[in-house]
Every structure is written in structure tokens, then in C-alpha cells.
Amino acid sequence: MKKKLLRYTLLGIAVAWGIALMNTQHEEKTTYAPRDYAEIAATGVLRAVVEYNALSYHVQGDTVEGFDYELLHAFARDMGLKVEVTPEMSFEQRLEGIGTGRYDLLATGTAVTSRLKDSLLFTRSLLLDKQVLVQRKAGTGTDSLHISNQLELAHRHLYVIKGSTALLRLHNLINEIADTIYIEEVEQYGPEQLLALVAGGDIDYAVCDESIARKLHAEFPDLDLDTDIGFTQFHAWGVNKRSTALLDSLNGWLDRFLQTKDYQRLKKKYFK
């Protein structure tokens, strides 16, 4: 387990360091501003930001893959564009990058919420997802750590990724159960690292999207993912509020591509 956590941690650090170095060098020469589709098409390059995780974008051996990564490249191919993909672990940095125009497209499935609609335009829904509690499976006899319903979250410490959409749900849940839940925000880890920390006994509870947790469950079979934290929500890609033509292009393409056999094969590959 410690080897798995070390692998995920070192990989995350390497990705973050590489991105920071490239961005620092690039930003010395570049001033960004939000772009719409005509400006993107004129340069021929679409700048996308993704989260590095087992579902959206990751390195498998010597191959880069992921549901969002492959879907993004299918869009770029059909529209005659090249893609510049930047993996970014921080949820807040992804949003900031879209707001400043550093990135044209947030190409990681993101929960569609009223709060995020104030800063993003969302595409057609790509999937339904929800937040779940990640904990270790109950042991034999009475297990005081195991939680079977949301009322038992009172006075527990839950770890979530800093700035994630799970925070709003947890704050609402505090009001619903009329008790205290201690929320610990982490910035240096992604969902893989949180699952590894729970499995290794370093922390007791984490909250993350069910789709990612299920994708990783084979690596952490002793984890329990059966307690829901949030309701099922639409997840979609996002663009800057000024990029209405880009949004229309994405939605028009999605309307067509989601009906194809290529999309069904892609969906089956990542959502068995």
C-alpha cells in the first residue's frame, strides 16, 4: 500500500513540477485572454486543461489515455485542430486558467452547479456522477469507524480536494444533519492519492466522485464506496463565459458524436 501511495505521490509531484516549469517559461512571453472559436480556429490550436486521474487523463505505460483525453482528441480531429493539453491537479487553478484565458476548455467532467454556472458555460452533459464516502470496509464485530449513513458523519474528519464541488454538498450536509463535520481540504493530492491514504490507514475518510473511485476500486479492494454523500449530478466540460461560439461548436459536435459507435466503444472502455 505504501508503494502505491508513493507511486501516486511521486507521479503527481512530477506532473505538477513539469507543468509549473513549462507554464513559468511560457508565461514569461505570453499574455492570455479568453478566446472564442474563431480565434482558436485561426491559430489551429485548442488549449485544454484536464485533471490527472485514472478516468480523465493518465499515463499507462508509454501511452497517454483517458476518457476526456480521447474525447477531446476526437473533437479536435473532426474540427481540424491540434490540442495542447495541460494536466492540472488543482481544481481552483483549472477554474482560474479558464477565467484568464490560459486555457480554452476545461476538459474534465465537472459537476454542473449553480455556483459554477456563474463562472463557466457548460457543454451538454457527458455523464451522471455523484460524490461518495471512501472508507475502509467494516471489520468483524462492532466497527466504530465504519459509517453506514450520513447521520453518522457527525464529528468525523473528511478529506476532500481543495476547491472541489464536494465542498458545497458537505456544507449543506452539515445543515441537514444539524451537527459538525470536520472538512480537511488537501491541495497536493488527487483522488488516487486520497484513496491510497484511506486504504493505508493514514486517514479514515475521503470524498470523491464515484466514477473515479469505482475505476480505482480494483487496486484498493478493501475500500467501501457504498455510502453516498451527494445526489446524482450532471457532469460536463466548461468554457469561459465569453466563449459562446466555442460552446456551440462543442455542443453541435457532441450531439452528433454521442450517437456514434466510436463513442459507444469509448464509453465501454472507461465505464464498464
pLDDT string in tens for the chain (272-residue length): 545 554 555 455 455 555 544 555 455 567 889 999 999 999 999 999 999 998 999 998 889 999 999 999 999 999 999 999 999 988 999 999 999 999 999 999 999 999 999 999 999 999 999 999 999 998 755 567 999 999 999 999 999 999 888 898 999 999 999 999 999 999 878 889 999 999 999 999 999 999 999 999 989 999 999 999 989 999 999 999 999 999 999 999 999 999 999 999 999 999 87
In the chain, what are the domain boundaries?
32-128+234-270, 131-228
- pTM, 2 dp: 0.84
Rounded to whole angstroms, what are the CA distances from 163 to 6, 107, 110, 257? 24, 17, 12, 31
Fold entry, domain 32-128+234-270 = D-Maltodextrin-Binding Protein; domain 2 (3.40.190)
Rounded to the nearest 10 degrees, how much is the dihedral formed by the CA atoms of 58, 62, 64, 67? -70
Closest CA to 132 of 69, 190, 212, 35: 212
CA distance to 29, 85, 199, per residue, from 110 (Å): 30, 17, 25
- At residue 240, φ and ψ (nearest 5 deg) are -60, 150
Q: How far apart are CA 229 and CA 91, in angstroms?
A: 19
133 SS3 class: strand
DSSP line for 68-124: HHHHHHHHHHHHT-EEEEEE---HHHHHHHHHHTS-SEEEEEEE--HHHHTT-EE-S
Please name which of 1, 228, 253 lies closest in space to residue 107, comparing C-alpha atoms: 253
State which amino acid sits at residue 151. Answer: L
Is 32-128+234-270's fold the same as 131-228's? yes
Exposure on the CB side of residue 10, measured as CA atoms within 13 A: 6
Asked if residue 33 lies in contact with residue 101, where contact means CB atoms within 8 angstroms, the answer is yes
**Residue 109 backbone dihedrals phi, psi, to 5 degrees:** -50, 120
Helix axes 67-79, 244-257, angle to 10 degrees: 100
Round to whole Å and give the CA distance between 107 and 85.
9
Residue 11's CB is within 10 A of a number of other CB atoms, namely 16
Task: Report domain 131-228's class.
Answer: alpha beta
